[in-house]
Chains A and B, each alone.
Chain A
Amino acid sequence: MEGEKNLVEKARKGNSEAFGILYDYYLPKIYRFVLFKVSHKQQAEDITQHAFMKAWENMGGYKPQGHPFGSWLYRIARNSVIDYYRKNEFSVDIEAVSPEALGIDNSLIAKLEVKLEWEKILNAIGGLTEVEQDVLIMRFVEDLPHGEVARAVDKSENAVKVIQHRALKKLKVTLSKK
């Protein structure tokens, strides 16, 4: 994001307007990330709001250290999902994951073909491990580079590449069966 450094610095000093701009930019990304992990629209909204609230409350302690702000946000979102699973015992029926359940706009899934494809891929993602899901979503849905993904999932870049390769292989096998 252009001018992100300046915005982050202002937000660190308590400038809510600066944080608001960062929120507007990152909300769709964080929301999608959480949505594909929890497969439920309402829960995704709650967790996303919680993640941004935590980020805003802890802005004073954020230190860039040469890493993008987005990595920090994704990390908070990831931890928020884990916390949510711990506090609320619920299981997701993988077979029931559908674009409608996710609250995806009907106009986007107007074509039956698109709807079926999304259903298949969302179900396949649900069968991956947590870190495999994180890597694939960040890499191919949000187009993050390996370095940022590594920072967000707290692993090395090489480890991220291995996880990505493994996850794609798994998806290939799952989607080939259906």
Chain B
Amino acid sequence: MAIEKKNFSRRDFIKQTSMFAGGVVFVSLINPMKVVYATKKPEGKGKWYGIAIDIEKCIGCANCARTCKIENDVHKEPFFFRNWVEQYTITNDEEILVSSPNGGIDGFEQPVPEEDIYKTFFVPKMCNHCTKSPCTQVCPVGASFESPEGIALVDQTYCIGCGYCVQACPYGCRYIDPDKGVVDKCTLCYHRLKDGLDPACMMACPTHARIYGDLNDKESEVSLFIKEHNCAVLKQQLNTVPKLYYNALSQEVH
């Protein structure tokens, strides 16, 4: 049977395509596309946790990484971390050298002699607990989620260990636990927060370079810190809206 050919004039084509385009515009006007949020920022009393790190105060002792590993039973080896410290060294030849031996736990040494250094500083890194977290959006089974307080968590009994979120996180903050075969990440010590204790890394910082608290409360320590200092977030261009703010962050850090 031959295919029946319809006489489709140019006028019909223009009519139908413009009708379709007009329909799309009309629908998008009455129902505009909404931004994907993993969880909604609570209005009123609910807590909305944020973190601030003062790079000017960080001495690179890596006690944050050390205590985190002990508190959360993170494997000592292979080298998985929930938080770690990086040493940035910018030489006089404008070369950027980044080192993080065992996440900083083994101690830092400058890779070049002191007279060749233009600028050097430590950057502690951890989960940014993003407002529009890409890691929770990609989870195929609903094991990665954000708690109502804005903390990105993993339901380890539900996780299938596909590793999609490990790839989705632009900050490299997730890893697959080699024993359990499921994803593990920073929980901002959720178990400690519920007991009224500070997260292990915040407690361990000897210079009080790490601050956390409720961003909803404008009088909290972290809110005041962000207000009074010139803070920046990592990889702003990715529109993940991180809740980890760095004071005195250099542009070289990414």
Q: Do A and B bind each other?
A: no
- Chain A interface residues (CB < 8 Å from chain B): none
